[in-house]
Amino acid sequence: MPEVAYVDGSFVPLPEARISIEDRGFQFADGVYEVVAVYGGKPYALEPHLQRLERSLAELRLSLDVRAHGLESIIMEGIRRSGFADALIYLQITRGTAPRHHEFPRPAASPTIVMTVKALKRLSPETYARGVAVISRPDQRWKRCDIKSVSLLPNILAKEDAVAAGAFEALLVDDAGRVTEGSSTSSFCVRDGVLWTTPAGNHILPSITRAVLIQLAADLSIPVRQEYCLLDEYLQAEEVLLAGTTTEALAVVQLDGQQIGTGTPGPVTRALRQAFLETVDG
Active site residues: 148
- Which residue from 111, 154, 244, 265 is in contact with ligand PDD, where contact means CB under 6 A? 244
Please report how close the Cβ of residue 206 comes to ligand PDD at its closest, in angstroms: 8
Taking CB under 6 A as the rule, does residue 35 contact ligand PDD? Answer: yes
Please report how close the Cβ of residue 107 comes to ligand PDD at its closest, in angstroms: 31
Confirm if 97 and 24 have CB atoms less than 8 A apart. yes
Q: What is the DSSP letter of 242?
A: E
Taking CB under 6 A as the rule, does residue 197 contact ligand PDD? Answer: no
- Which residue from 208, 214, 229, 255 is in contact with ligand PDD, where contact means CB under 6 A? 208
- The 10 Å Cβ neighbour count of residue 124 is 9
Q: Residues in contact with ligand PDD, total (CB under 6 A)?
A: 15
Q: Considering only 1-9, 118-126, 225-233, 237-245, which stretch makes contact with ligand PDD by CB under 6 A?
A: 237-245
Taking CB under 6 A as the rule, does residue 97 contact ligand PDD? Answer: no
Q: Which residues pair with 173 in a beta bridge?
A: 138, 179
Q: Considering only 17-25, 98-106, 108-116, 208-216, which stretch makes contact with ligand PDD by CB under 6 A?
A: 208-216
Strand spans (E) along 95-163: 112-119, 132-138
Please, which residues have CB within 8 angstroms of residue 8's CB and are 6 or more apart in sequence? 19, 110, 112, 113, 114
CA-closest candidate to residue 225, choices 260, 188, 255: 188
Taking CB under 6 A as the rule, does residue 186 contact ligand PDD? Answer: yes
Taking CB under 6 A as the rule, does residue 245 contact ligand PDD? Answer: yes
Which amino acid belongs to residue 132? V
DSSP-derived pairing of the beta strands 10-13 and 4-7:
antiparallel
Indicate the SS3 state at residue 40: coil
Residue placing its CB nearer to ligand PDD in the complex, 51 or 264: 51
Structural element, H or E, at residue 215:
helix 208-219
Taking CB under 6 A as the rule, does residue 246 contact ligand PDD? Answer: yes
Residue placing its CB nearer to ligand PDD in the complex, 72 or 108: 72
Please report how close the Cβ of residue 39 comes to ligand PDD at its closest, in angstroms: 14
Q: Considering only 22-30, 79-87, 180-188, 256-264, which stretch makes contact with ligand PDD by CB under 6 A?
A: 180-188
Strand spans (E) along the chain: 4-7, 10-13, 31-39, 42-43, 87-94, 112-119, 132-138, 169-173, 179-182, 186-191, 194-197, 224-225, 239-244, 248-255, 258-259
Taking CB under 6 A as the rule, does residue 180 contact ligand PDD? Answer: no
The contact set with ligand PDD (CB under 6 A) reads: 35, 155, 181, 184-186, 205, 207-210, 243-246
